[in-house]
Structure 1
């Protein structure tokens, strides 16, 4: 039997660490336990900014999940990497820090009927989470990057901002977008991501910032135990009283909060007897509570790359990436003062979100429910994303050794309709406006990867054969009204009909936010922490707290 705690948090990713930080920062008397399945890695080299694209290859830090072969993707298995370390997926992700659209959060609030999730309230939490570093390289015009201090925090534990040095073809790339008629946006984290921006990263001065940075080692009330994968929640009657990890039972006098992510949270719930009755019975798991929405409703963003080999005078990548000596010397420089090529190459991206002008005229759009049509037409909600300067050579098998001067664009599909293909086709076609623009292809030597043609059939086939997950899994334990058949948790993150059990991670978010989801995961945990603190006092006063949920 393990020690008894006030609250037990399962998972130390962005959501779990935000919950733990919120509980222990202002209430040090609380005894809070965080259980993490992975190890606690302290090697600073795992935080090298320019190697952010390689950390996910550390096998011991990655669950290495894959989908089953996908019928409509050439029967390919799709990589579903998830972090297995203190810091969760923030320990292996690519450090893009984008909060999404203000209309995402207002829609979340509308769905739940709760202003706690509105943009104005979420923005306060985002600012509390971050320390935003405003610096940009000398000589760079502020039309490309000029976030307002009123939109950013200055004292949070998560360090975000721009790389100190940018590759020399980045600003020319931004100019090409502007020449092609795409607007510039000096801050994609203002609440309106629409336009071409420079990416804000969860990194500063060559060093990545992860969820682990939210855990205060001086907090007397916080205990973190790693290498402790949770097998099940201990439920007595209809109340969660603890969890079991590696055969050890840890007990909670107040609540258990599951923050294991959109793939592992449903697994833990189902192994605990909470989920679709037919699945539980199929695997001979005693049914504690039939909740048909557990493990259902998975949503994700998907991407395909476009890339050209370009003239050697276009950029400096070959001299660095093709030379083991250059990379080793750069590593020694980084170890000395966190500067040099490993804090420059692939540390800054062009990033943009756009709308499709003709979307509302398609039959697929017209077939959507009225509320979803209304949401997709909101001012700040994009339909697709493009990222430049993605280091494609680390992801393409058998990359040509003489092709390091390549230029890449990665196209992400956002807000896809549940049936049909038009958004996929039109998003890629719109991206080809840049890929085929005269200023973009003036240095082009050959295609590295591209559709055969611009026909509907070839664009769709290109998606099928090349698309990958963006690792933005969401919605598998969805938040909603207790009357919604597919809802797993209520607006307070409480699991329906189970006392003292909450879920706070991307599995509960009832929509797929318009950005890379680590920021949304942080704010989800921060919001849950506020509700726990509020409800803790309520619980102390009224022993019948949550009684109306118990069946």
Structure 2
């Protein structure tokens, strides 16, 4: 293998990039280079499920992006993304949810019938073993559940929702225990673990970490190489076949813009030569805006608020080290409800998450409590991301434009009212004392919206900035993931979703990357 020339160059070793590297190299015919800005995923905190809280508090394995919130004067927002092998799959909340089959109609309408559920279901089944621990990604449920978690599910059923029991049912209308990409030994199972670890035995794959991609190089509208930076040194890698951007919703459009593909006015203002003018690069940004309501509880045993400091934390760490069980082996969210805002809808458009702890002032509440979080699953509000400089690493301009669409405002209000309805059902109400004052004062529609604006948090599920579509008038890539207007470069990550496909994105993008890899191989 030449040290600087490869058949395929994969930019980003996150959920999509890990899959892409694995599948493109599987037949042994092609050489693959993977370029990852972060470092290797060696910390035990990346393996212990509850360790992600400490990971997100630091800068070693996450990138931080400042966000412009014109709708809020008090909420200074920062978006976090995984910066290590496995990307955000190595630092996220591990919730495993498939998209609803009908929602893939948006993808097939944009890219062709080869993206519909009939074509995609085999990839999901291979990926998660039909929602079991027998797939490429093992999917499990927490073993030790709190009684108050079951009370939340029972209350949701009393409120009129069906009871969901299987992992593959989650996302349909109903309520049930969540499932997670946590293996039977209590360890996070990231995309890196599933798809990159097996590559150690393949001499046709090279993974470079701690390297930043500056831009793509073109000759006559054909991508030929990737220009990178490492410790101040410029490095160029040549692609003999294709370059696949898997850098994520926030980084892939920035790389394209620095490469001369994007809004012409933006590129010209930064003195970047225009390779192909496409105003859609960086547009169509969609993100979830979450709002959690805290409730105090009667029994201290129903809350984890005191489990993560002092002696309780030490006991939990020892328990995890010995048994791989206990709170440290769990995700922060334990159960969910999926709700239709109107009876006319085919699928739920609101998600409610239950967590056995409550927070205040950026920490756990001093009194025992739980939290119930709600948000619209399919946001219609769209924002944008744009580079602020031709220099890689410069903070981009991110405008999420939350709640600018009337449907998002209506669904956000409905989510809060549904949470309160669940909390009043007898099976849960008997365990609660009261809603915490931070949210209790918001009762009118406008007060609830103001609460979302000033206290809402991002879901870290941003999509859409390199959206799939038929032509460059409304999109960035075509149905075979090729970028409009240029050759030999594709995008495969959450940025290609024309609409949000699911309430969480990890399972969706891994299955889509599996399908995309097959498409790329078909095209060779």
The residue aligned with 2:59 is: 59
The residue aligned with 2:494 is: 506
Shift of residue 398, structure 1, vs aligned partner: 5.3
CA 188–164 in structure 1, closer or farther in 2 if over 3 Å, else same: closer
Shift of residue 426, structure 1, vs aligned partner: 2.1
The 3-state SS of whatever aligns with 2:84 is: coil
Rounded Cα–Cα distance in structure 2 between residues aligned with 1:9 and 1:181: 47
The residue aligned with 1:251 is: 238
Match of 1:198 among 168, 177, 191: 177
Match of 2:121 among 108, 120, 123: 123
Shift of residue 314, structure 1, vs aligned partner: 5.1
The residue aligned with 2:388 is: none
CA 434–155 in structure 1, closer or farther in 2 if over 3 Å, else same: closer
The residue aligned with 2:449 is: 460
Rounded Cα–Cα distance in structure 2 between residues aligned with 1:426 and 1:319: 31
Is the CA contact (8 Å cut-off) linking 1:417 and 1:423 kept in structure 2?
Answer: no
Is the CA contact (8 Å cut-off) linking 1:100 and 1:193 kept in structure 2?
Answer: no
The residue aligned with 1:409 is: 372
The residue aligned with 2:139 is: 160
Is the CA contact (8 Å cut-off) linking 1:128 and 1:155 kept in structure 2?
Answer: no
The residue aligned with 1:472 is: 461
The residue aligned with 2:505 is: 517
The residue aligned with 1:43 is: 43
The residue aligned with 2:21 is: 20
Is the CA contact (8 Å cut-off) linking 1:188 and 1:194 kept in structure 2?
Answer: no
The residue aligned with 2:339 is: 354
CA 310–316 in structure 1, closer or farther in 2 if over 3 Å, else same: closer
Rounded Cα–Cα distance in structure 2 between residues aligned with 1:292 and 1:329: 54
Any stretches of 5+ residues in structure 2 without a counterpart?
A: 382-404
Shift of residue 438, structure 1, vs aligned partner: 3.8
The residue aligned with 1:241 is: 224
The 3-state SS of whatever aligns with 2:71 is: helix
The 3-state SS of whatever aligns with 1:481 is: coil
Matched positions, count: 489
Shift of residue 192, structure 1, vs aligned partner: 5.2
Task: State the Cα RMSD in Å.
Answer: 2.1
Shift of residue 454, structure 1, vs aligned partner: 2.9
The residue aligned with 1:328 is: 314
Is the CA contact (8 Å cut-off) linking 2:55 and 2:62 kept in structure 1?
Answer: no
The 3-state SS of whatever aligns with 1:64 is: strand
Report the more deviating stretch, 289-298 or 74-83. 74-83
Shift of residue 525, structure 1, vs aligned partner: 1.3
The residue aligned with 1:178 is: 157
Shift of residue 73, structure 1, vs aligned partner: 2.5
CA 296–335 in structure 1, closer or farther in 2 if over 3 Å, else same: same
The residue aligned with 2:398 is: none
Is the CA contact (8 Å cut-off) linking 2:320 and 2:328 kept in structure 1?
Answer: yes
Rounded Cα–Cα distance in structure 1 between residues aligned with 2:356 and 2:275: 46
The residue aligned with 1:139 is: none
Any stretches of 5+ residues in structure 1 without a counterpart?
A: 133-150, 361-376, 537-551
The residue aligned with 1:30 is: 30
What do the CA deviations read for 1:240-287 (whole angstroms, capped 9, x no partner)?
Answer: 112011110011100000000000001000011111110000011011
Rounded Cα–Cα distance in structure 1 between residues aligned with 2:517 and 2:86: 17
CA 283–453 in structure 1, closer or farther in 2 if over 3 Å, else same: closer
The residue aligned with 1:444 is: 432
Rounded Cα–Cα distance in structure 2 between residues aligned with 1:48 and 1:491: 38
Rounded Cα–Cα distance in structure 2 between residues aligned with 1:72 and 1:384: 22
The 3-state SS of whatever aligns with 1:479 is: coil
Is the CA contact (8 Å cut-off) linking 1:186 and 1:198 kept in structure 2?
Answer: yes
What do the CA deviations read for 1:489-515 (whole angstroms, capped 9, x no partner)?
Answer: 100000112111000001111110122
The residue aligned with 2:391 is: none
What is the TM-score with the length of structure 1 in the denominator? 0.84
Match of 1:495 among 452, 476, 483: 483
What is the TM-score with the length of structure 2 in the denominator? 0.88
The residue aligned with 2:87 is: 88
The 3-state SS of whatever aligns with 2:82 is: coil
Shift of residue 470, structure 1, vs aligned partner: 0.4
What do the CA deviations read for 1:180-199 (whole angstroms, capped 9, x no partner)?
Answer: 22221223534852210211
Answering whether residue 218 of structure 2 is matched by residue 229 of structure 1, we say: no
Answering whether residue 100 of structure 2 is matched by residue 101 of structure 1, we say: yes
